[in-house]
Amino acid sequence: MSLHFKLMTDSDFQDVLDKGIRIRVFKDNHIVDASSLIVRFDDGLVVTQSDVSDLMYHDRTECEFYELRKR
């Protein structure tokens, strides 16, 4: 089982990016990205990668981002 910590600030996103921690992304209360790494982010967009050729683009205002941590 993993713990979820919501990412809200640029500092949160930068910390996860620097440490290479996997995240989970929700949109409209549905999981749209189950376990991926942040490649880059800015004020309006977060780019994640779960596999070599699997990039996803998420709008920061429409999605919720959670850091995954092991118990």
Percent of the chain exceeding pLDDT 90 equals 79
Domain topology for 2-70:
SH3 type barrels. (2.30.30)
Q: What's the whole-number mean pLDDT along residues 20-36?
A: 94
> Does residue 2 have a pLDDT over 70?
no
Percent of the chain exceeding pLDDT 70 equals 96
> Cα 36 from chain centroid?
7
pTM for the whole structure? 0.88
Cβ neighbours, 10 Å, residue 31:
11
> Does residue 3 have a pLDDT over 80?
no
